[in-house]
């Protein structure tokens, strides 16, 4: 079963009532994924025709849009807010394209091992497309009744992001810190962790004397109420798994090390069917395709039996 708590915080995947799973990555609740899934584009139409170039190799706007389309809803939302992330995505893609050209110029695409691997990947892509064509649900699937039924059975999951009342202890790690400084910071946070887990009442005192986040440290680590959709995505899984008054294990972020204590939590409102309908349709189609694929393979084995010659 996927780790979650009474507030409906889901970490990896969540079974629906009935068959199938909804996959959720770094999501405060399923509702967070639903809201991000329906967010408008961040202005892709304004992209220049050439997004980036390097040594004569160019990354086009269409290639960049294709990359964005493959991202998770959470990643797309972060991309919409931070130009630095868009630049990093473009740079990484450009470097790969540049290196691929260098590899071809060096004749790597002609090497037997490389050709075999390329053939294997091409065959997998062809097989995926063929199976998709054989298992495509009929037009008009799913019907309104099926969509409504799935919604009613999983309504508790269909919530707007809730909010949490947190306290924290933070040990900063500067971006230019050397290996020794990073090791020392890690040792400090784990030593503090041992102390506060042994006696939860020491958390506030430890925050006041040892946390590097001055504003919350002055309040015994109290950060006040934080909305689920405003949290740093890399911290959400840890916070989302906490029960009231529970202290998290040390968690690393870009800025340093954190210990969190959940003081209170509140659920978000249930989203209406209209807000989550596109996601429900996709879920039902995916489930139907999985069922049809199983049937297709069973029928294939009946019409063309397989002979297995190994034990």
Q: Is 292 helix (H, G, I), strand (E, B) or coil?
A: helix
* pLDDT over 70 (residue 57): yes
| pLDDT (tens digit per residue) in 189-230 | 999 999 999 999 999 999 999 999 999 999 999 999 998 878
Which pLDDT band holds residue 77 (cuts at 50, 70, 90)? confident
Average pLDDT over the chain, rounded to an integer: 85
CA distances to 19, 140, 141, 150, 281 from 145, in Å: 16, 12, 11, 9, 11
DSSP 46-98: G--SEEEEETTEEEEHHHHHHHHHTS-HHHHHHHHH-HHHHHHHHHHHHHHHH
Interval 73-93 mean pLDDT: 85
Q: Token pair 């879920």 is at which residue?
A: 283
pLDDT of 14 over the 60 cut: no
Highest mean pLDDT among 4-8, 46-50, 58-62, 72-76 belongs to 58-62
Euclidean distance between CA atoms 70 and 84, whole angstroms: 19
Residue 10 has pLDDT above 80, yes or no: no
Query: The pTM is what?
Result: 0.58
Residue 43 confidence class, pLDDT cut points 50, 70, 90: low
Under 8 Å between Cβ of 308 and 146: no
Q: What is the mean pLDDT of residues 109-136?
A: 96
Q: How far apart are CA 239 and CA 253, in angstroms?
A: 13
CA distance 182 to 172: 9
Q: 151: closest CA among 276, 24, 289, 38? A: 276
Question: Which whole number is the average pLDDT over 126-148?
Answer: 95
Q: H helices within the chain, ranges in order? A: 30-37, 61-69, 73-81, 83-105, 112-135, 144-153, 179-198, 203-210, 214-217, 236-240, 273-303
Mean pLDDT for the stretch of residues 36-62: 77
């Amino acid at each position: 079963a996927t780790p979650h708590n009474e507030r409906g915080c889901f970490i990896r995947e969540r079974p629906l009532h009935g068959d199938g799973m909804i996959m959720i990555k770094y999501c405060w609740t399923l509702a967070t994924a639903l809201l991000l899934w329906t967010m408008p584009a961040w202005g892709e139409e304004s992209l220049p025709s050439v997004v980036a170039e390097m040594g004569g190799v160019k990354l086009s706007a269409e290639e960049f849009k294709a990359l964005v389309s493959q991202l998770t809803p959470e990643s797309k939302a972060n991309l919409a807010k931070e130009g630095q992330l868009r630049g990093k995505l473009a740079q990484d893609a450009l470097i790969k394209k540049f290196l691929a050209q260098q590899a071809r110029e060096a004749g790597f695409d002609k090497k037997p091992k490389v050709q075999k691997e390329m053939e294997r990947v091409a065959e997998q892509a062809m097989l995926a497309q063929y199976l998709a064509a054989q298992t495509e649900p009929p037009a008009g699937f799913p019907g309104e009744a099926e969509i409504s039924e799935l919604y009613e059975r999983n309504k508790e999951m269909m919530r707007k992001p809730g909010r949490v009342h947190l306290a924290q202890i933070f040990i900063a790690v500067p971006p230019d810190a050397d290996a020794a400084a990073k090791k020392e910071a890690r040792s400090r946070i784990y030593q503090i962790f041992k102390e506060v887990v042994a006696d939860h009442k020491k958390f506030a005192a430890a925050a006041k004397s040892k946390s590097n986040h001055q504003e919350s440290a002055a309040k015994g680590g109290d950060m006040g109420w934080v909305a689920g959709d405003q949290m740093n995505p890399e911290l959400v899984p840890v916070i989302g798994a906490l029960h009231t008054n529970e202290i998290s294990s040390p968690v690393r972020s870009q800025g340093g090390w954190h210990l969190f204590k959940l003081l209170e939590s509140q659920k978000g409102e249930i989203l209406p069917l209209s807000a989550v309908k596109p996601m429900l349709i996709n879920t039902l189609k995916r489930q139907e395709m999985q069922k049809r694929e199983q049937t297709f393979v069973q029928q294939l084995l009946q019409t063309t039996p397989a002979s297995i010659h190994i034990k």
